[in-house]
Amino acid sequence: MDIKTFRLASAEELDIVKTFECGQCFRWNDDGSGAYSGCAYGRAATLRTVDGDVLITTDAGEELWRDYFDMDRDYAAISAGFNGGAYLDECIGYGMGIRILRQEPWEALCSFIISQCNNITRIKGIVETLCRTFGEEFEFNGAVYHRFPDAQRLAALEKEDLAVLRSGYRAPYIISAARAVAEGRLDLEALEKAPWREAKEKLIKLEGVGEKVANCAVLFGLHHMEAFPIDVWIRRALKEHFPPDFDPRTLGDYAGLAQQYIFFNARSNREFTAS
């Protein structure tokens, strides 16, 4: 296929560093020059910011990437509508340019099962080993990439087959979730259309999937922007900067975007230790 480069967005609309480094995805990597390369939906791309514009080099069409980066939603208007107090306003100002990626549902679910009780560097290493070991190989722009293995591929494995990942107690959870999807007991496409709380409750029934993992999969993989995952960073930010009775649901239909602003601010500025 032909490789082309085109303007995807302004740097104000899409900050690639913030978007790729805010903990929502694990397959995009900085090459050291500020450009990020990675995979989504079985296709590869490289993004860089040049003179205030985000340029993307890819062999896929513009429509795929506009959808993936949620470019048809007005994040500036949404962010202006939050009413969460001075601290949230600070987080929004610091994180503006983050976009919630519309990731492939199975990849997001599997990745966040791997993520539990893990740091981002280690999660990325496990996910990359998973793809390199079990994913289909392809070439893009002179480099070798691997597609994320589908649920059917992983469902055929036993937990011992995942020893190469060094994912520990998470291995049986990966296999269990893959089999639920492959056998049709978990219909991720249907959950994209279901109310977000219903989708979350369905995911929590999976072995090894708790509230936080389910909320991450609902937000980043099923594209329900109301979800508000709470991890150690968010829990401490809520404790330090919000009233004791604060309910994330008051942030409305885009609470998940507010969550990313808070997470990125707390983690980037090291407000708290992760222990």
Query: Catalytic site residues?
Result: 212
Q: Which two tokens stand for residue 234?
A: 């968010």
Cβ-contact 141, 44 below 8 angstroms: yes
CA distance 180 to 199: 14
Cβ partners under 8 Å of residue 235, min gap 6:
none
**Three-point CA angle 142, 148, 150, nearest 5°:** 140
